Amino acid sequence: MSLDLHLKQQGLLPETRDKYAQILQQAGEDPVGWLRGKVHPRTPIGTVLPLRAAVKHFLVFEGYDPAEVDKMLPKAKGRPCGLRDSLTVEQLALYYVTVDKQGDPVKTILKLLPRTGLRISEACGLERSNLVRQSGVPGLRFRGKRDEERFVPLNKAAQTALKRYMDLYEPGRWLFQGNSGGPISPEAVRKVCRKMREATPALGELTPHVMRHTFATMALRNGADLRTVQALLGHKSIQTTARYLHPDAGILKGAVDNLE
């Protein structure tokens, strides 16, 4: 069995498997020693965690017991990650105007991201069969991170964007097909985001992942509780979900006003 197949069986997405392969290539013949050299209090913890995870997966693949591996590897210490901002209401309105100037299928993907909270890899990998109705509710049912099944409802704006796209392009197996005939790559969407933020600096540090944060914040603004947002985002830990929520001044004022 190859390492990639092992990682696939663990439910890791292709993008994550590629990232871990790149990390292990850098680690060389002594991945544990290499990792020790990377762990430092001044290094962002968000940088350390993927390195440690890649090395751990490799050692388990090599036959080590997972509990033994945890003792072998250095603890993931580092500088806490800063909060990644979501778009404000004003920025989001500007975002949709800018998205409308882009070409498909990227345009439709970018319209869906802040309305579904999907990871960019999940959105790009959608198949037509993922479009379903669950208890009469239209939405997307698919396998995301860790190969766990998730259902995300589609609001009216998302349904409208998808219907327009499907009427125009009549997709086959892959909802958003790339030039190679397979699904469009996440990098193709990131490239458009880079061009958008260069052309429109008011959008800030725009990335597909920022739109996932924006979805979570807007869900909070509209009254969703933390557990619901966790289910929509597909997070295993509610602590992870909490890092996605960015209460803005309007949300904070509303919470205080409700105390009166």
Which of 57, 119, 213, 246 is catalytic? The answer is 119
- pLDDT at position 155 is 95
- For 1, half-sphere exposure in the C-beta direction (CA atoms, 13 angstrom radius) is 12
Single pTM value for the model? 0.70
Which of 6, 107, 143, 235 is catalytic? The answer is 235
Please give the helix or strand (H or E) that residue 156 lies within, else none.
helix 156-169
- pLDDT at position 94 is 96
- pLDDT at position 139 is 96
Q: Is 52 a catalytic residue?
A: no
- pLDDT at position 254 is 61
Q: Is 71 a catalytic residue?
A: no
- pLDDT at position 180 is 86
In order of 4, 14, 19, 34, 202, the CA distances from 24 in angstroms are 12, 15, 9, 10, 38
What b/e string do you get for 190-228 counting C-beta neighbours within 10 Å, with b at 16 or more? bebbeebbeebeebeebbbebbbbbbbbbbbbeebeeee
Beta strands in the chain (DSSP E): 131-134, 137-143, 149-153
- pLDDT at position 252 is 58
CATH number of 89-257: 1.10.443.10
Q: Is 212 a catalytic residue?
A: yes
Q: Is 191 a catalytic residue?
A: no
Query: If we measure between CA atoms, which residue out of 115, 122, 161 comes closest to residue 143?
Result: 122
- 3-state secondary structure (DSSP) of residue 63: coil
Which of 57, 212, 213, 246 is catalytic? The answer is 212
Query: If we measure between CA atoms, which residue out of 215, 229, 222 comes closest to residue 250?
Result: 222
Q: Is 119 a catalytic residue?
A: yes
**The two three-digit tokens of residue 41, written as one number:** 């209090």
Which of 145, 190, 221, 243 is catalytic? The answer is 145
- Spatial contact of 127 and 115, defined as CB atoms under 8 Å apart: no
Q: Which residues contact 66 (CB under 8 A, 6 or more apart)?
A: 56, 60
Residue by residue, pLDDT tens for the chain (260 residues) are 898 888 888 877 787 888 888 998 998 889 988 888 888 777 766 677 888 888 899 888 888 888 888 888 888 666 555 545 789 889 999 999 999 999 999 999 999 999 999 999 999 999 999 999 999 999 999 988 777 899 999 999 999 999 999 999 999 999 999 988 899 999 999 999 999 999 999 999 899 999 999 999 888 888 888 899 889 998 888 877 877 776 665 655 565 566 55
Q: Is 40 a catalytic residue?
A: no
What are the residue ranges of CATH 1.10.443.10 in the chain? 89-257
Angle at alpha carbon of residue 68, lines to 66 and 72, rounded to 5°: 110
Q: Give the whole-angstrom CA distance, residue 124 versus residue 13.
A: 12
**The two three-digit tokens of residue 253, written as one number:** 């004022």
Query: If we measure between CA atoms, which residue out of 104, 118, 202 comes closest to residue 161?
Result: 104
